[in-house]
Structure 1
Amino acid sequence: MNIEAVKSALISLAIRGKLVPQRDDEPEVEQIGEAPKVAPFEIPAKWKWVKLTAISSAPIKYGYTASASAEGNAKFLRITDITTAGVNWDTVPYCKIEKDKENKFLLDSGDILIARTGGTIGKSFLVDFVNQKTVFASYLLRIRVSERLASPVYIQRFLGSPFYWQQVASGSKGTGQPNINAKTLGSLSVPLPPLAEQRRIVAKLEELLEPLSRVQERLGRLTHDFPEQFKAAVLQKAIQGKLVPQRDDEPEVEQIGEAPKVAPFEIPAKWKWVKLTAISSAPIKYGYTASASAEGNAKFLRITDITTAGVNWDTVPYCKIEKDKENKFLLDSGDILIARTGGTIGKSFLVDFVNQKTVFASYLLRIRVSERLASPVYIQRFLGSPFYWQQVASGSKGTGQPNINAKTLGSLSVPLPPLAEQRRIVAKVEQLFSQVDELTARLSS
């Protein structure tokens, strides 16, 4: 269910007079200013079409131009302080404003702010609480509704309707940076019910939207938290031998190198505990130290080029590397890269495609898995398991900037299944991950 679409549909019904019944004892709305020559849609008989400026008690006002500061004589509300959750007034900065300019820009309860430019153009915020002197910034417009004519809450709900957004889209100007000015905003057409009906509409919308918002919040938590928790549980079961059945026709894994003295957890009889370095075909390698450039003789893959969506190779920069050093740092399909420091410490990336000469940067470590012993995809999935992350946390060093080195990484314990079972595990993990991703996409749509 698309909850935003349901909310939009309810607001559309509200501004068309189809959400609450009209009452005979309520007076007809007086026509204030000019109505549009052609009514955008049909409204009840007692309603009127008005311009937004006609129901404002003051001219629509541009905000104050100043620099945000930790100190000043007024709070300074900006576009960036306004989120879907409202405003955290404690984090709103200050500015300095001359005494004779204050009254022009001071905010009061009931004021409505509109973002007039950029990616948030048209978004509105109803000021329902001001606990200290506050002015608003220049990329905002202030509407001050005449409460004799209209409810600020009704107008703010109107400003969330599809009809309002259609008008904003047709009235905004500027191809590079679309914007809406005070004149355009003031000329927007508003379907205005009797004041008492506005309040009944607002009450009904609150009644209907509040449970939808609760459901939306729960779905948000579900789509954010559940997939990661589910995937972590799947990977943990996978590396414990509980995801696919063991087969009698598959050989027992040979013990390679030393096993840990105490097994971290029980694994199937044919599996073995090994160190990561024991299943590597080459020493774990630190990356190359160089400056990224628009030109060079090799692509230069950095931590920042690796995202949850993978690598956009078109945007990976270049570097210059001496011919005799290339082979030490060249990447190949099947290589696994690990972030060794900073906020991304421990995160891994499997190189499955290299279309040109590429080296990796110094804040990455390269693992080259022996494919005679292990599947690189299985190892990369192991590197996403809770057990791996526990080992990284206990093995990383440095309080200011935690890091993991090649020796620590190589000493990590890995539960190793027979090679054929590794492939079956990978296939099952991919299947389950694909299903949860599809479910999450459906819940989010």
Structure 2
Amino acid sequence: MSKVQNVQNNFEIDFFPKDWNIARLSDVADKKDRYSFTGGPFGSDLKSEHYTDTGVRIIQLQNIGDGEFLNNYAIYTSEKKADDLISCNIFPNEIIMAKMDPVARACLVPNLNNRYLMCSDGIRLNVDKERYNNHFILYFINSRYFRNKADLKGIGTTRKRIGLSTLRELTIVVPAKLEEQDKIAEILTTINNNIQKTSALIEKYKNIKTGMMADLFTRGVTHDGKLRPPYEQAPELYHETELGFIPKGWFIKSIGSLLITQPQYGANESAEDYNSHNPRYLRITDITDDGYLMNEEIKSLSWNKTNGYILEEDDIVIARTGNTVGKSYIYKKDDCPMAFAGYLIKFKFNKDVCNPLYIFYYLHSYLFYNWIDKTLKVGAKPNINAQEYSSFHIYLPELSEQLEIINIISSIDKKIETEQKYLEKLKQLKQGLMQDLLTGKVRVKQAEPSVA
């Protein structure tokens, strides 16, 4: 194993195999291509007035994911404009990198069009495929070794950026033999494909759940557990209210009328480093849009600061400010001790008239999201206060039907949770393999993946 001097190369890999080489990123570009390593156009050369409904697609920063192309935003320019900016064209299966934070994140350009035009903050890298494996280079660029180094070289306080000239000089380590690069890339791509398939399956289940809740919270279920026919097919099963037709036997209740205590704002305390002897400090940034906990950056709060702020089983907290308004979480009996922070509001429900889990699911339906859009106060920070949340009205069946609805939604939730756990397992496996394979710590003969 050879040693890389950290000071000289500003690199985190201390040792790598003797038959591997150090290369500048510019060295891996195809020298036969004049524009194999180049940046996007100047802002003045590509303005909004140049956008068209069809033509050559412009790859924007929001399309450049961490190892994947995010195909959720598309703008175009004319063929002529793309020809005028020929040096900024990029093609399928080439690497595009981002200058803006997170700096140097990269993905492959998809094979959806014959060519694309980069935005001003994009960087094209056309790899010399006679010497380097395209996917190996992409994986290395997205590794923590390279990305940490790029981040250190980035400039700016509010949002970092990195220049083309700086990226050119950053170094990677790479097997001298193309066959070894190919094998490493093949292993990581196998894991990556499984990650993408699992992510797609999770999205499918989430879409099913969304459609299911839209029906369940407006139609409910019959005594045999089947979805009640819609009003148009069976009007005799519904009665008219101030909010429209709802199933007979259902009521319209405000959140406030279902509480056993007044809503409570969270602790106005600074988060502390995680300590297993103290309660977890639940913040709005810890809650996903789907109501799950994120465990990447767990914080704590000392016991002596938690008086009155410790959550109990079935308490629901809802975010009240910022871009997270409306996100909610229900505290479960198996959760660790948890105190809630100031941008959250706690609601404690009367279990004699409503099941808190029914309320929690309702808070993730389009009925609640539509209400938020109408109610939201737009100012320095969008916000909805406790009084406003208390005024939100829900369609409420009897407890027995609430439980039927909960069971149906929970069944799809369990599938989502199972796939999410598997997805996390795959991501951890990928990270471990990247750390071992991209440094030569484990040679490819020892590194066949197991993803079962």
Corresponding residue of 1:361: 341
Tell whether 2:374 aligns with 1:405: no
Please report how far the alpha carbon of residue 286 of structure 1 lies from its aligned counterpart in structure 2 after TM superposition. Answer: 1.2
Deviation by residue 1:96-150 (Cα, 9 ceiling, x = unmatched): xxxxxxxxxx947699965799986795799987999x9986xx65568xxxxxx
Tell whether 2:145 aligns with 1:176: yes
Tell whether 2:272 aligns with 1:303: no
Q: Give yes or no for contact 2:41–2:88 (8 Å, CA) kept in 1.
A: no
Q: Give yes or no for contact 1:60–1:182 (8 Å, CA) kept in 2.
A: no
Asked which structure has the greater CA Rg, the reply is: 1
**Closer, same or farther: CA 185–57 of 1 in aligned 2, 3 Å:** farther
User: Which residue, out of 243, 247, 253, partners 1:264?
Assistant: 243
Corresponding residue of 1:286: 265
Please report how far the alpha carbon of residue 318 of structure 1 lies from its aligned counterpart in structure 2 after TM superposition. Answer: 1.9
Q: For 2:392 and 2:97, how far apart are their aligned partners in 1?
A: 54
The one-letter code matched in structure 2 to 1:418 is E
Secondary structure at the aligned position of 2:273 is classed as: coil
Corresponding residue of 1:423: 403
Corresponding residue of 1:150: none
Corresponding residue of 1:42: none
Tell whether 2:364 aligns with 1:384: yes
Corresponding residue of 2:310: 330
Write the mapping of 1:110-121 to structure 2, written as runs, cut at 5 A.
114=95
Q: Give yes or no for contact 1:240–1:415 (8 Å, CA) kept in 2.
A: yes
Q: For 1:135 and 1:263, how far apart are their aligned partners in 2?
A: 52
The one-letter code matched in structure 1 to 2:257 is A
Please report how far the alpha carbon of residue 294 of structure 1 lies from its aligned counterpart in structure 2 after TM superposition. Answer: 1.1
Deviation by residue 1:351-385 (Cα, 9 ceiling, x = unmatched): 11465442211111111112222111111111122
**Closer, same or farther: CA 233–243 of 1 in aligned 2, 3 Å:** farther
User: Which residue, out of 242, 249, 253, partners 2:220?
Assistant: 242
Q: Which runs of 5+ in 2 are unaligned?
A: 1-26, 46-57, 78-85, 150-169, 180-196, 226-239, 422-452
Q: For 1:310 and 1:414, how far apart are their aligned partners in 2?
A: 22
Please report how far the alpha carbon of residue 68 of structure 1 lies from its aligned counterpart in structure 2 after TM superposition. Answer: 11
Q: Give yes or no for contact 1:299–1:356 (8 Å, CA) kept in 2.
A: yes
User: Which residue, out of 290, 300, 306, partners 1:318?
Assistant: 300
**Closer, same or farther: CA 243–233 of 1 in aligned 2, 3 Å:** farther
Q: For 2:319 and 2:395, how far apart are their aligned partners in 1?
A: 22
**Closer, same or farther: CA 68–355 of 1 in aligned 2, 3 Å:** farther
Q: Which runs of 5+ in 1 are unaligned?
A: 1-51, 91-105, 145-154, 190-218, 248-260
Q: Give yes or no for contact 2:316–2:329 (8 Å, CA) kept in 1.
A: yes
Q: Give yes or no for contact 1:305–1:312 (8 Å, CA) kept in 2.
A: yes
Deviation by residue 1:227-259 (Cα, 9 ceiling, x = unmatched): 555433322322234334389xxxxxxxxxxxx
Secondary structure at the aligned position of 2:345 is classed as: strand
Please report how far the alpha carbon of residue 432 of structure 1 lies from its aligned counterpart in structure 2 after TM superposition. Answer: 4.8
- Corresponding pairs, count: 310
Please report how far the alpha carbon of residue 186 of structure 1 lies from its aligned counterpart in structure 2 after TM superposition. Answer: 10
Q: Give yes or no for contact 2:202–2:419 (8 Å, CA) kept in 1.
A: no
- What percentage of residue pairs aligned between the two structures are identical? 18
**Closer, same or farther: CA 421–172 of 1 in aligned 2, 3 Å:** closer
Please report how far the alpha carbon of residue 397 of structure 1 lies from its aligned counterpart in structure 2 after TM superposition. Answer: 2.5
User: Which residue, out of 229, 233, 243, partners 2:211?
Assistant: 233
The one-letter code matched in structure 1 to 2:248 is A
The one-letter code matched in structure 2 to 1:379 is I
The one-letter code matched in structure 2 to 1:352 is K
Please report how far the alpha carbon of residue 312 of structure 1 lies from its aligned counterpart in structure 2 after TM superposition. Answer: 4.2
Q: For 1:391 and 1:110, how far apart are their aligned partners in 2?
A: 43
Secondary structure at the aligned position of 1:176 is classed as: helix
Write the mapping of 1:134-283 to structure 2, written as runs, cut at 5 A.
141=125, 164=133, 176-177=145-146, 188=178, 230-245=208-223, 262-283=241-262
The one-letter code matched in structure 2 to 1:370 is N
Corresponding residue of 2:12: none
Q: For 1:339 and 1:135, how far apart are their aligned partners in 2?
A: 34
Deviation by residue 1:1-31 (Cα, 9 ceiling, x = unmatched): xxxxxxxxxxxxxxxxxxxxxxxxxxxxxxx
Deviation by residue 1:161-215 (Cα, 9 ceiling, x = unmatched): xx946876999999833999799699858xxxxxxxxxxxxxxxxxxxxxxxxxx
The one-letter code matched in structure 1 to 2:286 is D
Q: Give yes or no for contact 1:82–1:125 (8 Å, CA) kept in 2.
A: no
The one-letter code matched in structure 1 to 2:339 is V
Q: For 1:131 and 1:353, how far apart are their aligned partners in 2?
A: 53
